[in-house]
Structure 1
Amino acid sequence: MARFYLEQIAALTIRIDELVQQLQLASRTDSFLRRLCTVPGVGPVTAGAIAAFAPDLRTFSNGRNFAAWLGLVPKQHSSGGKTRLGGMSRMGQEDIRKLLIVGAMSCIRWICRRGTNPDNWLGRLLARKPRMVAAVALANKMARAIWAMVVKQQDYRTA
């Protein structure tokens, strides 16, 4: 019985390796995927998920709407002209949201190993907020940057 499971695991591992190679090849040849991979924290898997699951990004009027579609913006409890923001809504496209948060966490881990720089936005945020909160904020920022890059047909630019 154990041999049966090991053979299945070996067959699935071979299939996964083939799919990873196809995805890496596509991310090198396709201009849309290559453009998305220029964003720090976005790799071939995240770029492929955005290409596969997200509608045409030009249908969103701005980057905040795309981030809201992903579920990366806070809930609003506003009335009477007073804005009150709550926790993250977590409504929306779960797969891409999770991949963006994982990519943001990898950026944060890389920055923390190097030593945080309090001069930039992320360094200041990490100084006052937990890492996971900073990761969701960075994922929100990444989603907005992805929207702007796709709509303007430009590669990622640092500030």
Structure 2
Amino acid sequence: LFAQGITGYEPVKANRRAMLEELRTGDGRPLPNHITRQIERELDRLEMVMAQIDEVNKVREAMLPTVEAEETAKAPRLLLQLRGIGPEFAGTLYSEGFYRHFANRRQVAAYAGLVPSPWRSGTIDREQGVSKAGNKRLRTTMIQVAWLWLRHQPGSELSQWFNQRVQDGGGRIRRVMIVAMARKLLIALWQFCTAGVVPKGAILKAA
């Protein structure tokens, strides 16, 4: 559409097909028929994906109340109280990790593969980064949550810790430190779900 001089068309809106018929090119002509048919096929695929997303959301929303009703599974309801964490993240963190029992913080980090992986040989002793030996989906989700935490919880102790360590640093140091922050945040969220300890400086959503 942009190549035809058209801007502002929003295919995710409910009136996407009606609006398509009203579009005019930059010089005032109706869209050529073959372009209209091509876009309609793209809309068919888009609507199929949107329907699948709606179905997944309904399953998730049906699952969370059931989970919350269990005395031993309060994690989703508690996580939803924190600014920056929505139903998708709350459900994933519970189903991929917090439904399990962990004896200590190191077990939590190890399960997600976010513990350091030391390497020793003779007089050489250094870290090789995180082990990545745990739950990949939980680890990936926590890194996404960590980036959003910086945006929605800028005044928290963890966000300040991250910002102090990446001052004047490039993209590489930010990518390294966000993994370290994801480990700390995972432990903080686990403590919040199990002991009710709110992460320092974190803001809860309004009731």
TM-score under structure 2 length normalisation:
0.57
5+ unaligned residues in a row in structure 1: which ranges?
Answer: none
Match of 1:37 among 71, 80, 84: 80
Greater Rg over alpha carbons, structure: 2
Partner of 1:54 in structure 2? Answer: 97
Distance 1:150 1:27 in 2: 15
Distance 1:73 1:15 in 2: 35
Q: Is the contact made by 2:98 and 2:190 (CA closer than 8 Å) also made in structure 1?
A: no
Partner of 2:48 in structure 1? Answer: 11
Displacement of 1:4 in angstroms is 6.3
Distance change (3 Å), C-alpha of 1:7 and 1:148: same
Partner of 1:122 in structure 2? Answer: 162
Match of 1:75 among 79, 96, 117: 117
Q: Which has the higher contact order (CA 8 A, sep 6+)?
A: 1
What amino acid does structure 2 have at the position aligned with 1:63?
Answer: R
Q: Is the contact made by 2:112 and 2:133 (CA closer than 8 Å) also made in structure 1?
A: yes
Q: Is the contact made by 2:83 and 2:152 (CA closer than 8 Å) also made in structure 1?
A: no
Distance 1:74 1:143 in 2: 14
Distance change (3 Å), C-alpha of 1:32 and 1:6: same
Distance 1:55 1:35 in 2: 11
Partner of 2:138 in structure 1? Answer: 96
> Identity over aligned residues, as a percent?
26
Output the aligned Cα RMSD: 3.5
More helix per residue:
1
State which drifts further: 142-151 or 14-23. 14-23
What amino acid does structure 1 have at the position aligned with 2:174?
Answer: R
Distance 1:125 1:107 in 2: 16
Displacement of 1:101 in angstroms is 0.5
TM-score under structure 1 length normalisation:
0.71
